[in-house]
Amino acid sequence: MHPDHIQAGELLAVPRPDRVRPEQTDGTMCVWCDQPPTVDLGVRLSTSSGPHPGGLRRWHPRACQACAGRYAAEVFASHITRCHACQRQHCPDARALYALSIASRSRPETRRPGR
């Protein structure tokens, strides 16, 4: 993959699939909240803890823009203090994380009232 085509969502840590609802593991609900997802977080592999423990399974977490942006901002802040390349100029990972965090600020919040 070209270094300027980093998928920022793939750089975000997600909850373990056995600790979220089925709708969150199949990508029909944000992996961090109950909102409709708009950001692909990439295909993940995890060990199964269900009826067939020990096997690998593939799952497809997705996130709403607000959650993806919030977590991207946290990872960006941590990344730029630890990445050697970012001491001179932001690396492709940092640029992708920053773009994802900014994208959530430019869109209106779509949360339901009372949340």
> How far apart (Å, rounded) are the C-alpha atoms in residues 78 and 33?
23
Look at residue 36 and tell me whether its pLDDT is greater than 90. yes
Other beta carbons within 10 angstroms of residue 90's beta carbon come to 17
With a CB cutoff of 8 Å and minimum separation 6, the contacts of 84 are none
pLDDT tens per residue across span 15-25: 988 888 989 98
Whether the CB-CB separation of 11 and 75 falls below 8 Å is answered with yes
pLDDT over 60 at 107, yes or no = no
Residues 17-48: b if buried by 16+ CB within 10 A, e if exposed? beebeeebbebebbbbeebebbbebeebeeee
